């Protein structure tokens, strides 16, 4: 088998623009490509979807995923983005930012696998943030 890369594809009902703007604000990266329903000959099956995101690519340092609006999207569950950090302070800042308007499901704390927390953001996307013990340096006693 040749080279393979796995990327998540997030489906929102009609809030893809807002979600990607939020992730940009959080410092995760930026939108590098966006195609909209009804633009440049793109089909529109449901008139309510005109101008919504048909396909977007989001990238940042160590981050790459795709997203779109789909009026028949299933609620997001059973999957999560996991972000690895080299320092707990950066993890703390992003966890707080992503958690705004969302729900913390595992508060930040030291686990056997490192400094870790899990949340569901305001758009229903689950995030796991971890700083493994070997990367924690002097902060390994965090709890």
What are the domain boundaries of the chain?
A: 8-69, 81-137
**Each residue of 37-64: pLDDT tens digit?**
999 888 888 899 999 999 999 999 999 9
CA angle 102, 127, 91 (to 5 degrees): 95
CATH number of 8-69: 3.30.720.100
Q: Do the two domains 8-69 and 81-137 of this chain adopt the same fold? A: yes
Does residue 67 contact residue 20 with C-beta atoms inside 8 Å? yes
Q: Which helix (H) or strand (E) holds 94?
A: helix 88-99
- The reported pTM is 0.86
Query: What CATH topology corresponds to 81-137?
Result: 3.30.720
**Each residue of 66-92: pLDDT tens digit?**
999 998 888 777 789 999 999 999 999
């Amino acid at each position: 088998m040749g080279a393979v890369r796995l990327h998540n594809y997030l489906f929102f009902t009609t809030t893809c623009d807002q979600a990607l703007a939020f992730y940009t604000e959080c410092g995760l990266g930026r939108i590098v490509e966006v195609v909209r329903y009804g633009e440049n000959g793109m089909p529109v099956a449901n008139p309510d979807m005109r101008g919504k995101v048909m396909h977007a690519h989001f990238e940042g340092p160590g981050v790459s995923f795709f997203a779109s609006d789909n009026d028949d999207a299933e609620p997001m569950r059973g999957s999560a983005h996991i972000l690895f950090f080299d320092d707990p302070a950066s993890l703390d800042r992003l966890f707080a930012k992503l958690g705004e308007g969302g729900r913390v499901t595992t508060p930040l704390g030291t686990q056997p696998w490192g400094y870790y927390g899990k949340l569901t953001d305001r758009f229903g996307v689950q995030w796991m943030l971890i700083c493994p013990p070997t990367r924690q340096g002097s902060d390994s006693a965090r709890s």
